[in-house]
Amino acid sequence: MTHSVTVDDVRAAQQLLRGIARVTPVQSARWLSDLVGGPVDLKLENLQRAGSFKIRGAYTRIARLTDEERSRGVVAASAGNHAQGVALAAKILGCKSTVFMPVGAPLPKVSATRGYGAEIIFTGTTIDECLIEARAFEQETGAVLIHPFDHADIVAGQGTAGLEILEQRPDVKTVVVCTGGGGLLAGIAVAIKGIRPDIRVVGVQAAGAAAYPNSLAQGHPVQLTSMTTMADGIAVGRPGDVPFALVQSLVDEIRVVDEEVLARALVLGLERSKIVVEPAGAAAMAAILDDPSAFEAPIVAVVSGGNVDPLLLLRVIRHGLAAGGRYTTLRVQVPDRPGQLSGLLRAVAECDANVVEVGHVRTNPILGLHEVEIEIEVETRGPNHREALLQRLANDGFNVEVG
């Protein structure tokens, strides 16, 4: 089969990107290695310029435009990472950039994109809606659309990360890649399969925005009717035609992870590997965490990107701690009389759980006239400790609902 992008295209992009894109480090992740029973390394694209792999494809695409095309400027649609990649590449190459971003795009991504010199126009709530407006802008102004994933130059640029993986970890047997529209996955698969076809390449999508499984089953890109996920960076409703054909031909498997696993992976990456990564960039780690026996070591998981909104990070950390049994909200209905709260807190303290917050509710219609609902948020050391606390409260006669 003749592919739209070959390993030689990726090698050419690598030459073009010398001095522009960083060769990002590969770092061991013992917390994943212990689960798998073999080496797991993280390819840290969150440390790339502009915080993600996107500069690789954006620069490759814009650099290959003619001088006349660059003089008309470029336009892009992005939730943030591609926006920053395009804005930075355009600034380096001396051309104007306009970026359509969804309403509510993370503030750090907006600020960074504007800081690189791009004009930002907010529209819609998804990348797909932004793409519609970006294409209309292209027709109206003559600016060149720099698609986030559906172009051969974009795929070739992203694939340079795959060449680096082979150079940095030549013994790798499995490469796991976070996946939205498929540009990064397709590019890495082209690079790796073109040199080492024995290496297994796995893409990972968020369950609430998993366009690839059904599209692959149908044999062509299929539009999702809705998407709901914290992983905005990979929330793409339809695979690109160019990456889809490459993924269909070269990628061994697409796996799907839910929100709880994404949150846990983000927290463990922060806690154990000391890396700051957004939910989309944690997808490859999440897949390994979710089913470590499914992957043959040595493994490289691609981590990208690092442009997480601090407010979202706070919510995701709390969600991840709850999913890991380390943060729990308990609701307890008790008679509204003195001593009930102190008895409850005494039981929690004797289980060595830490109370973070306490609240009283007296207006819930399910409560009796002389009842009160006590809501407490507690920190525990993990699922076993949480279960021990719940069992102690049950033994003491408390009717507990876990929130």
- Backbone φ and ψ for 79, nearest 5 degrees, come out as -80, -10
CA–CA distance, 156 with 154 (Å, rounded to integer)? 5
CA dist list (Å): 4 to 16, 129, 278, 359: 19, 26, 31, 60
Phi and psi based region of residue 237 (left: phi greater than 0; alpha: psi -120 to 50; beta: remaining) = alpha
Cis peptide leading into residue 237 (ω within 30°): no
Residue type, 93: L
CA–CA distance, 382 with 326 (Å, rounded to integer)? 5
CA–CA distance, 183 with 243 (Å, rounded to integer)? 6
Task: Establish whether 304 is a catalytic residue.
Answer: yes
Which tokens is 394 given?
């049950």
Residue in 43, 54, 109, 193 annotated catalytic: 54
Which tokens is 236 given?
């793409």
Task: Establish whether 54 is a catalytic residue.
Answer: yes
Place of tokens 């003559």: 142
Residue type, 13: A
Structural contact between residues 80 and 233, judged by C-beta atoms closer than 8 angstroms: yes
Local structure of residue 2 (DSSP, 8 states): -
The alpha carbon of 201 is separated from its chain's Cα centroid by a whole number of angstroms, namely: 18
If DSSP codes are grouped into helix, strand and coil, which group holds residue 372?
strand
Which residues, 6 or more positions from 97, have their beta carbon under 8 angstroms from its beta carbon? 73, 74, 75, 76, 86, 87, 90, 91, 116, 117, 118, 119
Catalytic sites, residue numbers: 54, 304
